[in-house]
Amino acid sequence: MLNDMMLGQFFPENSVLHRMDARAKIIMLFILIIAIFLCDSRVDYSLLIFLNIALMLVSKIPFIMYLKALKPMFWIVLFTFVVHVFSGEGKTIASLWIFSVTWEGLSEGIFITLRLVLLVLMASILTFTTSPLVLTDALESLLSPFKKIGVPAHELSMMMTIALRFIPTLITETDKIIKAQKSRGADFSSGNILQRMKYVMPILIPLFVGAFRRADELAMAMESRCYRGGQGRTRMKEMKIGNLDFCLMVIFAAIIACLLFFKIEGI
């Protein structure tokens, strides 16, 4: 499972989404997130699923990568589905001890599951098609208007991007530590819960030590390059929103308007 963790990965391709301005992609992601929470009917979800599949095809990234992005969320999605299925009220389909499955609970569980899956896939589309450095510049640009009220836009965007960038590195290091411990005879699959929690300590301690060492090395590297925050910094490539970005943002805004219309009309 550790090798299947796709969060924070970037796949360079020559697609429309890769060529788009990162700020436009972040804005569209927020629009889609709002749209997901506005959805409460089959028509709304069908429209969002179709749009999500279209974006995945346009990105030119293999579908297997998106499935790998969903894999770590499997148990969370399954738990959420089961909780809603057994906690719904209405006409009973089946009963198990003190729990009962209802049509309303089943429908709510499917909608909530789809909502979680769509959120993960849309966030994956953004990270798969945008490099961490470009994402940093885009976040800083979008947060720059808040500098007037004292918000450290550059520092916040830098911290978020560094955290996102080091997720794959820490996952790889965790996998190496587990394999090293297994080669020394460690058994992580047997015993009760308390014993398995004890087995986790030989993994967490070297992982935290390695993470602190990497953070110290990164800080020293940034200081040696005279990094002093965002003040006075310039960019080799200035970000510009083109006609394609503007048109796609208008299309996404129109989709939100359609979803609001369906919601008001009760379609």
User: What pLDDT does residue 8 have?
Assistant: 61
**Residue 128: is its pLDDT beyond 80?**
yes
Contacts of 80 (CB under 8 A, 6+ apart): 109, 112, 113, 116
In this prediction, residue 3 carries a pLDDT of 53
The candidate with the shortest Cα–Cα distance to 124, out of 112, 134, 116, 113, is: 116
For residue 5, what pLDDT is reported?
A: 59
Tell me how long the chain is.
267
Question: Domain coordinates of the chain in residue numbers?
Answer: 1-130+238-267, 155-233
> Per-residue pLDDT averaged across 140-152, rounded?
79
Q: What is the pLDDT of residue 81?
A: 81
Instruction: Please tell me the pTM assigned to this model.
Output: 0.73
- Of residues 91 and 13, more confidence is placed in 13
pLDDT band per the 50, 70, 90 thresholds, residue 119? confident
- Give me the pLDDT at residue 91, please: 66
Distance CA 165, CA 159 (A): 10
Residue 94 reports pLDDT greater than 60: yes
Asked if the model's pLDDT at residue 129 lies above 70, the reply is: yes
pLDDT category at 7 given cuts 50, 70, 90 is low
Whether residue 32 is predicted with pLDDT greater than 50 in this model: the reply is yes
pLDDT tens-place string over residues 51-92: 888 888 888 888 888 888 888 788 888 888 887 777 766 666
Q: Which of 56-60, 129-133, 143-147, 226-230 has the lowest mean pLDDT?
A: 226-230
Q: What is the pLDDT of residue 1?
A: 47
Of 4-13, 126-135, 148-157, the poorest mean pLDDT is in: 4-13
> How distant, in Å, are the alpha carbons of 37, 58, 64 from that of 46?
14, 18, 22
**What gap in Å lies between CA 70 and CA 121, rounded to an integer?**
7
Over residues 158-204, the pLDDT tens digits come to 787 787 777 777 878 888 888 888 787 777 666 666 666 777 777 88
pLDDT at 158: 77
Between residues 168 and 235, the one the model is more confident about: 168
Chain-wide mean pLDDT for the chain?
Answer: 78
* Rg of the chain in Å (alpha carbons): 22
Q: Percent of the chain beyond pLDDT 70? A: 83
Within 10 Å of residue 177's Cβ, how many Cβ atoms? Answer: 17
